[in-house]
Structure 1
Amino acid sequence: MTYVISLGGSIIVPDEIDVVFLRRFIRRISSEIRRGHRLFIVTGGGATCRKYQSALKEISKSTSENLDWLGIETTKLNAHLMRLAFGNKVNISGGDKPGRSTDYEAVRMAKRHGAKTVINLSNIDYVYSADPKKNKSAKKFEQLTWTQYLKQFGRKWKPGANYPFDPVAAALAKKYKITAVIMNGRKLENLKNLFANKPFRGTIIK
């Protein structure tokens, strides 16, 4: 089975580079490749991206496009780190163009390589109607259609914004009929369950 993994920068670099997690992640993915899965990875920018964008805003007035370009470079840095760590066993890339996130690149990659599912690994277990840390009445979604998702979160992309899945990418996934699974990337046993077609915790959007 072919999958594209959108690896959130928030779990690569929550504040500093999480070497312990990356070791575990590489072992998990290497194991799945040995089992016959064909995997592609797109990396986000994480705290590195946010820090650089914040610094640029303080230093000078900047356009959304410039902030996006800065973010893209941080995703490429994370991608290069992962590429070297995997020893070129996995096709790994970062961002590409302003106005869209690495989720968008993941959907494009899925279309290009015939993957029917994008696995979005971030620091949340499910998609919620609001931030559950700030709003205790936030509703948990286990399944959504792309139409429902876009109605809930809108269709516009903002540099540095923190969506469960980039709305621009969501519209593209809807067009291509690609499914996304949003799950907590740190819970690697849960990811193993997904690959094994066992019950897992996460939100399915299709």
Structure 2
Amino acid sequence: MSTKVLSVGGSIVAPEYPDVEFVGKFVSMVKEFLSSHPEDRLILVVGGGGPARIYQKAFRDVTGTPADSGTDDADWIGIMATRLNAQFVKASFGSLCREPVVTDPTASSKFEGRILVAAGWKPGFSTDNDAVLLAEKFGADTVVNLSNIEKVYTDDPRKNPEAKPLDEISWDEFRKMVGDEWVPGKNCPFDPIASRRAQELGLVVICAGGKNIGNTKSILEGKSYVGTTIR
């Protein structure tokens, strides 16, 4: 039995509201993949997306909390958004996902269906970290990080026109780029805390654009793909 982990960014599940068209096509692709790969099962870890950012901003506007200030309150708001999105995704798979949404990756031990859906855990971590912990628990060697960017860049391309896309990067170089601190709502290709643990475990992380469902299927099938491999 082969287990694959997908960290599905909330920005593609619910950029502001649930993206019904995308989720419908994603569910169909996953069902088709599992039908043709009976020995495989998938863990999907769903992010908070637009709802998390909207409510975190509202909290900061009300309280005057700086955007770069890491607080448990802001983190819990984001975590609740991930759980709403994850429940939506789980329900969309019906009987393929038998277990409840996982909210503590260190406690989960049952995986009887073909799909396990997880959400945020506790303050101080993003869903990327949950994906790494579940990969460790269930013996996956790769985490596929699906977001709204196709590749990791040498710098933020929105701010630096000279930034270059990368096909591959080492963990050491990647961690120099993202740092070591997690701030609720931080927008980076892969969470710094998750990156540290992934490097310790020797995991491969593939960052790719989640909206390209055909590309995601190629990754799952071990075919050539567009994305950045971190190892």
Please, what TM-score do these two structures have when normalized by structure 1? 0.96
1:135 aligns with 2:160: yes
Q: C-alpha deviations, 1:46-100, integer Å up to 9, x for none? A: 0000000011111125561110011001000001111111114121010001011
Alignment of 1:179-198 (within 5 A): 179-198=204-223
1:42 paired residue number:
45
Aligned equivalents of 1:88, 1:102: Cα separation in 2: 24
Q: CA deviation digits over 1:151-201, x for unaligned, max 9?
A: 121111111110100010000001111110000001011112112221100
Q: Give the match's secondary structure for 2:124.
A: coil
Q: Secondary structure at the match of 1:97?
A: coil
SS of the counterpart of 2:224? Answer: coil
- For residue 55 of structure 1, what is the aligned residue in structure 2? 58
5+ residue gaps, structure 1:
none
1:195 counterpart letter in structure 2: L
CA distance, structure 1, for counterparts of residue 152 and residue 47 of structure 2: 18
- Which letter maps to 1:180? V
What is the DSSP-based 3-state SS (H/G/I as helix, E as strand, rest coil) of the residue aligned with 1:95?
Answer: coil
Distance in 2, Cα, partners of 1:32 & 1:198: 13
User: Which structure 2 residues correspond to residues 20-31 of structure 1 after superposition, within 5 A?
Assistant: 20-31=21-32
Aligned to 1:81: 88
Which residue of the other structure, out of 108, 126, 133, is the alignment partner of 2:151?
126
**Deviations 1:83-132 (CA, angstroms, capped at 9, x unpaired):** 11111412101000101100000000000000000000001110012222
Q: Give the 5 Å matches for 1:3-18.
A: 3-18=4-19
Return the letter of the residue paired with 1:16.
Y
* Equivalent position of 1:145 in the other structure: 170
Given the two structures, how large is their TM-score scaled by the length of structure 2? Answer: 0.86
> What secondary structure sits across from 1:26 in the alignment?
helix
Identity, in percent, stands at 38
Aligned to 1:32: 33
How far apart, CA to CA, are the structure 2 residues paired with 1:133 and 1:38?
A: 36
Q: 2:186 aligns with which of 139, 161, 181?
A: 161
In structure 2, the gaps of 5 or more residues are: 97-114
Q: Matched residue of 1:2: which SS?
A: strand
Secondary structure of the equivalent of 1:87? helix
Say what the alpha-carbon RMSD is for the aligned residues. Answer: 1.2
Query: Aligned partners of 1:127 and 1:178: how far apart in 2?
Result: 17
SS at 2:33 equivalent? helix
Q: Aligned letter for 1:4?
A: V
